[in-house]
Each structure stands twice: as C-alpha cells, then as structure tokens.
C-alpha cells in the first residue's frame, strides 16, 4: 500500500504532523531497509516524488527527538533580516526541492540512513512579531533536541537563528568551534540601534562565551564595507577569516586540511549562509554579494569536515521570493544532505 499514515501530535516539541510508513513499506524494494529499524527516505522507483507529506527528503515527521541520532528542523524566521525578506519560507521550499535527494552519497561513500536514525521534526513555532521571544522559543526547542542526544540540522530562516541554537548547543557541549561559511562575518554590534538581527549573531555568541574563538573559521567573506579594515574585530578575537578572493579559481581541499587540524577532536558547529555562494548559483537570498564561492567549493568545504566532531549544522538565508527557478533551495537541500553525511557516526565505504 503506497501511502503514508498521518497523525497529529500536540506533545513533545509542539504540534507536529507525524508521517510513518504504512504496512508494507518496509519492503527493501520500496526504499526501506528490512535488516535495520531505521528511517529511510522513500524511493521514487515505487512512490512518486509528488506523493506524500512535504518533509525533508520525504523522511518521517515526528514530534519528539527521542530515539533519533539526527534530525532536520525548520526555523521559519526572517524578522532579523536587514534587506530582502522571505527567508521565513526557506524551510518549506528546501523541503520541496529535497524530493530529488536519494539515500547514499556515492562520491564520498557515506551511508547516512544505514548509520543513523533520522527524521524531520517539523518547524519551531516562532513568534513573527517579536525577535527576542522567537530566540527564546528556538533556544528552548533546541535544548530539548540536544538533551535527547540528537544532532540538529537546521533549515533557515535568517542568520539570527544561529545565536539561540548555539546557546542550546553550548549549554551541553561548552564553547564550540565554528565553521562559518558566509559572504558576511555577522559580527556587527548593532543595526538601527538593535543588538539582535542577522548581522550580529556571532558577536553575541562571543560575548556569552559560546564559541571557542581559537577554533572559529569564516570562509567566503567579501563585499564592500564602511571601513578599510572590516575584519579587525574578528581577528582580534582569534577568528581565522578566509576572504572569497583567496578562494577564487582553486580547490579548497588544502584549506580544509588546515581547518581539520585547527578544529581537532573537539565539538564543532557548521553554519552555512547560502549567500556564501555566488548569486549566479544562489540568487534566492537576502543580501547577495558578487564573486562568491562555487557549488563545488561548497561541497569541498562540507566534505572536508569528515572526521570532525560535528554537533550541529544549519543552512540559512534561503529566500524563495528571489529564487524563481528553485535552484537556490535545491542547492540548499543538497548541502544539508552533505552535512548529514559528515556527522560523526555515519559509516563510509
């Protein structure tokens, strides 16, 4: 029977739609492993891509992180945005494009769904009229996720959301290393007099001791500025800032070798702003900057995290209003899959 059993649960992290495979879908010919009790994305060979609940990679949607090794979760918030709006619709659009993704990564040999129990936890119920309250709701939700031993992979949402996520992550792991891929450093102090918006999350994280600043690397930084030394604050904190022009026309595999050595075996968080990529590849974002990274360089960065102690990831700033082809969201979905593939317990062959 090619259908999904759908139920609504108002417990755990909040109201969620729970999609579980119906009887008969555990047949391996239909995309589910018969020898291991783990969730598997549906196979388009047997279930049409246009069928079913819109979840990340068509995974089951559940209300609680209990029993999960990793989970996708959306944070549909964009009231911290300084330019183009629309990132609140990013999680939904990324899920729609993720229908094209499959279960294994033949380029790296990663078998994420044979290694981990993964599901989609739905969205954080943010407050679109209050940024501070939204940050509280995000922080409380992520505390439940990480306390359950589940690694969150976040669909954003503007970059403000990384601040409360890191509050929850650091509460469990202590100060973490950060691989931050972005066109902007996001370490401003204020915007229009406000201390909290998508240009300030990492300064707030530094002030609260959430980051191990000697293990912070920012890659893809570029664009015009109001000063001739816009990276002084970052470097004074111990961050390594890798400008986009230092990445032009070259492989980033050697750089990631250095990053792995710098990060060591301690916990690391990956925060990937889609505007790190050149707007020719990812036009659907709030603050595009010319001359950015390429998709292949993005893959080299994420795949270069293999073997690190990754405790969480996010992909932020997808604004579908400026993404008429859907390519930005498709790229975002693929990058989130690549992040899943480098989590610590994922088997590679």
How far, in Å, CA of 11 to CA of 25, rounded? 26
Token pair, residue 318, equals: 């997808």
DSSP 1-22: ---EEEEEE-STTSSEEEEEEP
Tokens coding 36: 């291991």
Q: Does 229 carry a binding-site annotation?
A: no
DSSP 261-305: HHHTTSEEEEEEEGGGB-TTT---BSS--SS-B-HHHHHHHHHTT
Q: How many Cβ atoms sit within 10 Å of the Cβ of residue 149?
A: 13
Angle at 211 between CA 206 and CA 217, to 5 degrees: 100
Residue 78 annotated as part of some ligand binding site? no
Tokens of 211: 């980051």
27 labelled ligand-binding: no
Handedness of CA 310, 271, 188, 144 (dihedral sign): negative
173 labelled binding-site residue: no
Q: Is 180 annotated in some ligand binding site? A: no
Q: How many CA atoms lie within 13 A of 103 on its CB side?
A: 20
> Binding site annotation covers 198?
no
Cite the annotated binding site for Mn(2+) by residue number.
159, 182, 184, 186, 273, 275
Cite the annotated binding site by residue number.
159, 182, 184, 186, 273, 275
């Amino acid at each position: 029977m090619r259908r999904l059993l759908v139920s609504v649960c108002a417990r755990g992290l909040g109201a969620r739609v729970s999609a579980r495979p119906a009887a008969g879908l555990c047949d391996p010919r239909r995309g589910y492993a018969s020898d291991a009790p783990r969730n598997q994305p549906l196979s388009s060979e047997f279930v049409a891509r246009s069928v079913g609940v819109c979840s990340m990679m068509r995974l089951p949607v559940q209300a609680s992180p209990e029993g999960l090794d990793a989970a996708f979760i959306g944070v549909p918030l964009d009231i911290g945005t300084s330019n183009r709006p629309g990132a609140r619709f990013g999680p939904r659009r990324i899920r729609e494009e993720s229908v094209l993704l499959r279960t294994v990564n033949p380029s790296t040999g990663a078998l994420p769904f044979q290694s981990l129990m993964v599901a989609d936890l739905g969205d954080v119920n943010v407050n679109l009229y209050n940024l501070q309250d939204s940050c509280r709701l995000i922080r409380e939700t992520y505390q439940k996720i990480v306390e359950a031993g589940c690694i969150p992979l976040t669909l954003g949402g503007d970059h403000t959301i990384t601040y409360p996520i890191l509050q929850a992550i650091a509460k469990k792991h202590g100060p973490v290393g950060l691989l931050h891929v972005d066109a902007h450093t996001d370490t401003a102090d204020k915007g229009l007099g406000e201390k909290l918006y998508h240009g300030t999350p990492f300064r707030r994280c530094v002030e609260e001791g959430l980051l191990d600043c000697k293990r912070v690397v920012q890659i893809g930084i570029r664009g015009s500025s109001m000063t001739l030394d816009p990276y002084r604050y970052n470097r004074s904190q111990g961050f390594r800032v890798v400008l986009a022009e230092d990445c032009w026309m070259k492989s980033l595999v050697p750089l990631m070798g250095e990053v792995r050595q710098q990060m060591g075996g301690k916990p690391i968080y990956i925060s990937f702003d889609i505007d790190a990529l050149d707007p020719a590849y990812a036009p659907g974002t709030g603050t595009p900057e010319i001359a950015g990274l390429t998709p292949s360089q993005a893959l080299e960065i994420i795949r270069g995290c293999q073997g690190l102690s990754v405790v969480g990831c996010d992909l932020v700033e997808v604004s579908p209003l400026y993404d008429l082809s859907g390519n930005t969201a498709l790229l975002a979905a693929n990058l989130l899959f690549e992040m899943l593939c480098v989590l610590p317990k994922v088997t590679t062959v």
